[in-house]
Amino acid sequence: MAMVGFGEFLLAFLLFVLIYYWRLNRHAPITNWPVLGMLPGLLLNLSIIFDYLTMLLKHHRGNFMFEGPWLSNMKIFFTSDPMNVQHITSTKFENYGKGDDFREIFEVLGDGIFRSDSQLWKYNRSILHSTFKQVSFQLFIHKTINNKIESCLLPFLDHAWKQGTEVDLQEAFQRLTFDVICSTVLGFDPTCLSIDFPEVACEKAFTELEDAIFYRHFTPRCSWKLLQWLQLGKEKNLKESQEIVDQMLYKEIASMSKVQGESIGNSTPEEEPRFSLLDVLISEVGKGKLDDKFLRDTAINLLAAGRDTISACLTWFFWLVATHPSVESKILEEIHEKLPAREGNGKDLGVEWLSQLTYLHAAISETLRLYPPVPLEHKCPLKSDMLPSGHWIKSNTMILYSLYSMGRAEEIWGEDCLKFRPERWISNRGGIIHIPSYKFIAFNAGPRSCLGKAISYTEIKMIAAAILWNYRIQLVEGQAISPRVSVVLHMKHGLKVTLTKRSI
């Protein structure tokens, strides 16, 4: 009889250990395996990662520590506890920054506002806050959005209606919002949204960047660093996409610097001066004081925020409205009553009128609750700290609070938390109910609260009102609706619809 070899013995031992751990943890939602840690369970559920994390957080009462493979130093504390979020974002704000892990994962953002900490972050925020407050800049953004709706969005939808063709609303919104944010930040319109849907390399590159960045969160650092060094897989895609985006940004910055003296303050009354957020920054801070690298980092941060968050919210909003006819009827009734008529069948989308669309505002907020454009936020403590939940967090531990899970927490929103019900936002007097930002955290909370919150609501309302007033949206049957695995909560397969012109 042959002797049992060392290899067979080792294999049998490993199988015994795995079976033992499986029996010990078979009723638990995630297993901490020998050597591999909790990574197998996470990878097996990566395609439904946001719902999987929601289930885990519910099982663990809003908090749990994820442990990766041995020796990988991969530990992530997940939370959906609003008291922890308030502690992290406000009470102990100075102790919680982005951290080294975040800066490595999001290195493409450079030293922009979303990646910076401490004094650099304060500087970035102060100059952007000053610009965002300017009435002239707010009017410019409103005018830019309105022009794109009239000249591109409505003609595009009208063509699709006349031709009887299906439209992927998600792609249309991504193209529209990319045009808007490029026009706003750079003074350059790439005209992504047109009838023929041209392929625009820089717009497509943003999606590639998001996908690669997301996978860095759940891949051991040594693994994605190796792939980066070898230029393989998503790391290769990330580098190529960054080069495309950088080429576009530096080209526009060079063009901007060249005409800066002519475009602000030196135009004749007959011609409209060039205007963009970067132009305003250069003018505010002083010509020559902001180098091209700073302008590039500022631009890519704002482009990522202005394109993806708005387009994601719009996509989920129209899916929810299309599946809730009573909500659509109430929005249309409000538009009919509150917005003045324009020539033809149009409605005045002025900011003063949009502010009266309470029910539309509530429906957008309800969309953001259930489908926050950024489903996970990343923090890291400088010093070890005790959270309100009683968890002791060591310094430099990655913390991810799940906005997606918080929107589905019964403890925050009640037993009907999974229902799309805009009425939960409206008071008995007909106004919008204020929900603390550490509970409704789509726009972040504390000192890092989103500077563009008001602008975002305005843009979403303008686009939503224009489409709903002019067209009836019908979902194409048989399509699977689910979140895409990315840093922004896009739909995995887009949103296919057909259009019918309204005669109101």
- What Cα–Cα distance (Å) separates residue 233 from each residue in 44, 217, 237, 282? 19, 15, 7, 38
Query: Which residue(s) pair with 377 in the sheet?
Result: 401
Tokens (6 digits) for 424: 């939960």
* Other CB atoms within 10 A of residue 1 CB: 3
Pair 488, 373: CB distance under 8 Å: yes
Determine whether the annotation assigns residue 450 to a binding site.
Answer: yes
Q: What angle do CA 274, 295, 313 make, to 5 degrees?
A: 80
Burial state string for 172-191 with b = 16 or more CB within 10 A and e = fewer than 16: bbbbbbbbbbbbbbbbbbbb
Q: Distance (Å, rounded) from C-alpha 402 to C-alpha 417? A: 15
Q: Distance (Å, rounded) from C-alpha 341 to C-alpha 240? A: 48
E strand or H helix at 472:
strand 471-475
Residue type, position 312, single letter: A
Q: Distance (Å, rounded) from C-alpha 298 to C-alpha 184? A: 13
At what angle are helices 201-217 and 292-304 packed, to 10 degrees? 80
Binding residues: 450
Binding residues for heme: 450
